[in-house]
Structure 1
């Protein structure tokens, strides 16, 4: 049996390291290699007994062969080097023998991990099998040492009540590895009377947790009691087993986002029928690892300690790769240069780095091959590595609901490492039709919830965030997001296998029959559309009866069109159309009667000399349209028609700001106005901005004036904006700071951006109360002195000052209540950003801040960075 071979291997290594050859000792590194192997075998014996008893015949044979090979290697070395009357104190194996020993241990570890994964799949436990176990040597906790020290401190520091500690992070980032290392730490072992490690996984229910803990604590309990016993009986039995003990319970790989904190707050919320833990002030701890962010919190209650594991930086990535490839060997500078680039392409994910190192070690080590791998991010070695870690990552995808799976797969239509704007992603989700839309709000709350859920499950990464203008409390809102390359690869593979999307990257991709009947088509290589064969192939399919008639979305913003491609008009099912065009939209655009999103960009290097052009009047017949973003264009007079579904209108000039137009789009929520002062009537048209106040549903307004003047003069009185505004962005208007009093009348205003001399003057005394303002940006201003009243911006969370070269004097007033002195926005302010501003202003800001807020200030000067680089 494989179990007999496993135990024999453990005993052989134990005998070798404890009594190698009479009184002699093994020389490093052989001693360390075998000691580590023994520790791993010893700690894995319990699970090995369970798993090896039910392996398949084939796997059983493979394990016995692997163990026999390793045993033969050890015994042959022992026989070969056993001395006869020698006085040598240390026995040294040759480098080649050590290499063979390490390789055999590694082969066995790989097989054992395969067996573990297979057994876990049989149990339908979607657990994190990313822990680096029998890898040949003990990890140095690269990139995790700070987490290790801090976690160890919280596990051993005096704190009488039971505490819960959480490790959060993406699959493969090292949560289980870190928890396992600290679980076996000698100080931790000594500190606790009981230590219990419980694997949770995706199928575990809340009521199963006490049962699994109890099974670990008391193996003699019958399976019938553990499975059929009443909850209160299980709780009582568990409490008796823990009573009087200082215990550490590790819940590894918690998937249910509410389970962890429900477990912790069980007594308060009466989740269990009776309390399973004895209430004793004995410094017991519960440590859990999870991929799910919301597992950190429940009903406003937070764990005692949360550690969010990060990706490794470039130096740490190279260190981990080098250690796993070279170990104690010398790495030359040439290999180091290539290796650093290879490590960088792993994007800081430890599991990916270790897998790449394993694949590199299996190949002949030549500088030419390493340079080839380093030069190409899509080299076959990386593809093999992605395949190798896919089992660990796949469980994150498989655990999603069907709707979230669709949303995740959709992100594969974007290029690798693409920073996806939140609005664009949600618009495309909505237009695709698999999200339920809310009739009154836009973007759809269900779409936002889906995106937040993907982020919470650590599948989607946030690149930029800001304050949400759609919330009274102003929570953080995703601005741009994307996928780690490992998940991007998984996403593309699943999309291809399920025929969710057709992605064209190389010439042969586009000429096959795969695009027939596709509802989603994405170009990841823009050069393709410039190839005649590709263009004609797509054109034929577009024009055919069965080809791309089902296509619902076409995103071709990165492809330049000088004339509107009339073939697109054959795609009558289109809901989303985005392209870059220098010509006019045809009147026949109305044939796309199902179109909801129309986005037309312009060639940045080409500027029309004719001024703004009008959209065809037929646009008013497109009743499904929700979003229009056509650069440098205007909506014509509706002549009595209306667009009841239109929610967003962007990049139009003041010509569109007429009473007739605004009456015809009563539900508009987002408006973007761009005015280029190149025509005489544009100045007169600025007065039409007053019509904006007629938009009763408007939530977001952006008004940009492009003027040849560096500091424009006020062109018209500042209009009265709708009281419903939550986000306002102004640029180039040149109003005096006194006009800011009108901004204070907007009681719902959450985000305010003032750019390119939107307001001008050397002094601004902010005395008005901006009741809801939480994010303020001032960029490119001639402001010299700024004074903020103690009651002016009490809700401010973020302040960004950029390119304010004259700003020297900043004063934040203190106010006085009956019992204490308070500082403006002292409770809410989280971050102050000063980019390329006057150094005197930065010093004044630092002085103005109370000592408990100084950490919120971040100052960046590009000229200082340049000087340091030199």
Structure 2
């Protein structure tokens, strides 16, 4: 048999997996578009006036395509070109309808005279969209009627139906199976740990730099963390600090990260600036040299240990080394890097080279993850060791492989399938061993988890991703479907826990709750490569500003102003935009670019960029669902925000805490019927006249920090927030006693935060009410003079 034919025969199973992945992605896109059109037709049918019949027929065509994909996705051989066609047509359909809806919503907000003047344009718009829909339907008909490409897929099997039911049951019961996220047991680092600790202890009083070198996935960070937390290291040093560097080093952020560890009152100093003023002595206002001096001052008199994790470039070390004093106290710096030359450049000592795990260590690590202390079937040992051997001692590959098999039936039949796929990867390219299990684990993710996992590649390398905003973004993106009666946020959290359980994501717990998560840089690379191929998203840096594709999501990791000036890409299809570049002031020029180029955006996250203003036509982002803004200057939000009828989450924070007293928001917030989270780090003062009608915000779950003025008090008394779970209120005018009866009716409330001026503001009536709330399981937090103070029942009763 010719070698090429033999290779094709051996590769056939994995080619079939690729085909299924393409089919799943195409079906997911079609499903989302159908769901989007259905919601639009149900909630805002008036916006489709004039084309509703064509939209309905387009839905019918898309549903037929979806049914076809559903009944054939378990089969093999569908052409990638065809699947890409289906995905692209679904995206085009979404763009056509969303563009039409955005224009109609603006048209309907005009005055009668304005509508008359633009009546001709509206008629032309109806004609154009009707033509585009008819063209899309013709394309879908051609795809569906091309039987030659579907003959291999026509049969639907009972097995596919059974697997669908099994998948549904798995997702429904997932929340019952959640368990605590624990740090992975370290295997094979016993001697390594002793060696590194010994190096840190050896030597004189001069500053010494110790380094750990190894390829990605070998466990450099895990070893460094084990050393960092060891009792011998803890007892030796006066203070410790840990900072991530990564491939894109940002010196200012790195120095601020060090100060966060080194200054116990770091957050308080950030908040110490006078209201409305920014002093040159404030930490956040310092330049890099001033921050280095601040770090130097913190370390000068101490015996310190600083871990510089994932150092990539020699010049990055050159830019930060001046912050570390050689104070003759026996201080140490521990560096982890992939590159020997970087480690040798930073210090004179020979690096500690991290070795691959032995076969025995790899097997031990694998068994811990797969069997979790239970007895392992003896008939699986041969197959298991065969797969573990293919990982070539790379801990990350072992852990991810184990996470994959932990979710599968522990039988020879299931494990034999995985063995075949791993072997195919090995025959493909033995130099890319580290990619074997990573790609296979992604391919084996449940359909619902694939987009959630890929989404993590949008964030910068080594970025600590806040969990709650991430879950809210997943909901806004439409990733969380078929939730039944469960809250979408809870289902999203289940998805994240499963990704953690599969060792694809690392979770960080705080006070018993999952606060942040991270993805290993090798897995992040996988997310980026898969997303680029599937047109899910693109990450833009200074090196690739001219992106040739048209992604649905764009994450800009460069200066926003530089990107706007340099990029001539088409952004009309952008549905999600993330700005993770250096801190930048977003003004009128940037807003104009956003409103002109990204009209259909659903998720808009400004990152650390500071917004100087909010445009009066913000409401033109008709499809916006998630908005995150950071600002020190905005005190007024225009009424046009009430036109964002799709809005689900508002995240509003300020870099300079308390730099402005409050922010004004229209009282008609009840018009935002789909708003779920209204989280503002400033005092929110509602303005305007209250409606006489009793309007309900059935979806609102969290609100902060609401000032109890006349308007806010009126909304609470009218029961505007019946399903609120977390509420933060600022009672500067002693309105709280008048609201107790209304607050008592909030049956879903589980946390109440109250900001009051003094302890004396707590009347006996209020104290008794808070006591009852705690008895009923509500967490109560009182902030005196803006400083949070958690207290229990005895503290409430005693006012201590």
Shorter-chain TM band: 0.3 to 0.5
Larger helix share, 1 or 2? 2
- Structure with higher Rg: it is 1
TM-score by length of 1: 0.40
Instruction: Name which structure has the greater RCO, CA cutoff 8 Å, separation 6+.
Output: 2
